Chain A
Amino acid sequence: MIDLIHVTKRFGAATAVDDISLSVARGELCVLVGTSGCGKSTTLRMINRLIEHSEGEIHIEGQQIRAFRQETLRRRMGYAIQSTGLFPHWTVARNIGLVPRLLKWPAAKIQARVEELMALLGLAMEEFAGKYPHQLSGGQAQRVGVARALAADPDILLMDEPFGALDPITRESLQEELRELQARLHKTIVFVTHDMDEALRLADHLVVMHQGRIVQQGRPLELLREPADGFVESLLGGEDRGLKEAALLPVSQRMLPLGPRRLARERIGQQASLREALSVMLWRHSERLTVVDDDDMPVGELSLRRLVGARSDD
């Protein structure tokens, strides 16, 4: 869907992005992660030509991005940024309808689409449609930003640290919403962040960048288990890696079927992560948990030995 082939970007004598190659498959959420100045934002902005690449080729669905007019290219991609970039002099509804208006949709269709998106993002129409951005909280503003990016139903979504300025609780709930949204919409998303927890939580495909180069890319678990070098390892949290990995694995992967023993008193959902399960054990001083399904029916049990024990080959 998106292919970067030996792409380099130079600003004068400085090389911001150094010969990177990257493929993002359709429907995949690709997270670029790295320290500030590593070239991740530059990479993102080269895809919609806010920055023109110096060498190499960038393809969208097999076509060179330079084959499109800049505006045409950008209107095909949603774009959400950390500062939201909402127009302060426009209402929420008008902000969301921006790209459809640029694409000259009929007014009724724009109106319908705005309503649809506000419902999708959990923004009550009557409460928010007429509000101006400065009347919104940070989380609400960022929801509007995401709704605006989705407005013309683009296949591709570019997100540049969209949740970076939010408090941890709002950030986590928006991350969760993005995952649910993605499960329904199957957009191709390129997501930039410096927050490794966010990257691990969201990514299908994780790309670690350092000094303009891609140091390692792959699925989050692969990177956790086999970091390419010390840099990736430290970025992934060093000693914390065990917990980070546990956060990615669901309880259902390690639980055993219900045995003849009595059910343990403490319960955990089968979709919860191993990290949450461990936390419950620590907190309740309990070595055994009963695993329940969505309807709170016991479906299995998880012991501390199983939790920390031999890895399943997933």
Chain B
Amino acid sequence: MRPDTPGPNVVLLSLSLVALAAWLGLDTVSVAANRIVPGTGYRVDEVLGASGALASTLPWLALAGLAWRPARRSLALALVLVVLLLSALPAWLALSAVTLVDRDQARLGIGAGLWVVLFLLLLAMIELRSRLVLSRFVGWALLLPTVASAGLCLSRWLEPLALWQEYRGRSSQFLGAVGEHLLLVGVAVGASLVIGVLLALAMRRWPGVQKAGFGVLNFLQTIPSIALFGLLLAPLAWLSANVDWLAALGVSGIGWAPALLALVGYSLLPMVRNTFVALEAVDPGVIDAARGMGMSRGQVFRQVRLPLALPVILEGIRITTVQAIGLTAVAALIGAGGLGTFIFQGLGQAAMDLVLLGALPILVLALLVDALLGALTEILRPGGAQ
């Protein structure tokens, strides 16, 4: 034991107390008679009774207690507790479904309290992961119990869960929508990467291009996405009416073509800016030495400047991709497909669970891409330089 016992872990302490408050004070689930009517919310004590609710505070208090004296062992214990709590959330939904839903048409909704608790638990997990210095890989593995528990509960008890019902009604379209979404994002990011790198190189070469280029890109970024889709509608419609091969390619005023153009337009600024800054920011002393040693311009670029800039360029690709995943949702408005379709259908039908069916996968995709590219950046930083 170290002689000085560390003070309370304030982050974990406040997270567990706020989570406790949300758990007790907010609706954890809601039950609606059918798809359209708003549901009735249920707090914990309305599901379990007062004594049950009191008992359910124990794990949160335990978590707070562990945060009070955060020695390494108690933090590890806290992490186990967080993983257990996360895995218990689907079980809580299952329990609510069994006790509260008695009619065939009725649907179980996920309440605000449960979302807040989920979010706070994930934050606690991130905090503990960094305190315990666990690798990225372990961090992801810690989510497996939750995924397994959710899968089990969905297959056995969660038939009335509204989100699950929406999914089953559209399971055939769902994968297609994810595919469309990823394709749009992939092509847009790929295209903007190629254009962006070329543009960044041109900017380094000719300072005039730099000023004008950033001006145009900044301007593009300020146009609201819906407005940009609208602006592209007329010229693209005209093009497809007058240019045969474009029409044959499927270009029209709505659909994937304007969506792709707009996405590339928005993706260019972060891509160009990061690539440009990355290439510029390489230590001038290193470049000076490289040239002084007798490397040719090409060698300096390929062997020194580019590899040193690569982590920052990848960072740009990461930011751009995450942004594009979100923007592509809006592209559904002009018929480009993707997960946004569910969001706008749900909004049109006032079916919030259908909106969630579109929004949640977008969130998950963004997080996954973020994590994957983040890991790649780390790998490409040899010797952990900087």
Contact = CB atoms under 8 A, between A and B. Distances in A.
B381 to A, nearest CB: 8
Q: Specify the main secondary structure of chain B where it touches its partner.
A: helix
A113 interface: no
Nearest to A133: B385
Contacts of B383: 88-89, 91, 131-132, 134-135
B335 interface: no
A71 interface: yes
Interface string A68-91: 001111110001011111111101
A73 B292 CA distance: 10
B286 interface: yes
B382 A132 contact: yes
Given A79-B289, A102-B299, A87 B294 contact: no
A254 B384 CA distance: 56
Contacts of A83: 283, 285-286, 289
B292 A79 contact: yes
Interface string B120-136: 00000000000000000
B308 interface: yes
Interface string A14-48: 00000000000000000000000000000001001
B291 interface: yes
B294 to A, nearest CB: 4
A84 B289 contact: yes
Given A91-B383, A132-B383, A134-B385, A85 B295 contact: no
Contact of A75 (B289, B293, B307, B382): B293
A119 to B, nearest CB: 22
Measured as residues with beta carbon below 8 angstroms from the partner, the interface class of chain B is 20 to 34
Interface of A: 45, 48, 50, 70-75, 79, 81-89, 91, 98-99, 102, 131-135, 145, 148, 158
Nearest to B292: A79
B288 interface: yes
Give the interface centre of A73, A82, A132 by most chain B CB atoms within 10 Å. Answer: A132
B290 interface: yes
Contacts of A70: 294
Closest 5 CB pairs of A and B: A85-B289, A83-B285, A132-B383, A74-B294, A75-B294
Interface of B: 283, 285-286, 288-296, 299, 304, 307-308, 382-386
Given A132-B383, A132-B385, A134-B386, A87 B286 contact: yes
A50 B386 CA distance: 27
Contacts of B384: 132, 134
Contacts of A86: 286, 289
Contacts of B299: 102
Given A72-B294, A88-B308, 16 more contacts: A45-B292, A73-B294, A74-B293, A74-B294, A81-B285, A81-B288, A81-B292, A82-B285, A84-B285, A84-B289, A86-B286, A88-B385, A88-B386, A102-B293, A132-B383, A145-B289
Contact of A99 (B283, B286, B294): B294
Contact of B293 (A72, A91, A98, A131): A98
Nearest to B291: A50
Given A71-B294, A89-B308, A102-B294, A81 B382 contact: no
Contacts of B283: 83, 85, 88
B296 to A, nearest CB: 5
B288 to A, nearest CB: 6
A135 B291 CA distance: 24
Given A50-B288, A87-B304, A88-B286, A79 B293 contact: yes
Contact of B292 (A82, A85, A89): A85
Contacts of B285: 81-85
Contact of B385 (A74, A85, A89, A158): A89
Contacts of A74: 291-294
Contacts of B292: 45, 48, 50, 74, 79, 81, 85, 158
7 contacts: A81-B292, A83-B285, A85-B283, A87-B308, A88-B385, A89-B385, A99-B293
Contacts of A91: 383
A82 B307 CA distance: 23
A89 to B, nearest CB: 5
A85 B382 contact: no
Contact of A81 (B289, B294, B308, B386): B289
Contacts of A45: 292
Give the interface centre of A71, A84, A131 by most chain B CB atoms within 10 Å. Answer: A71
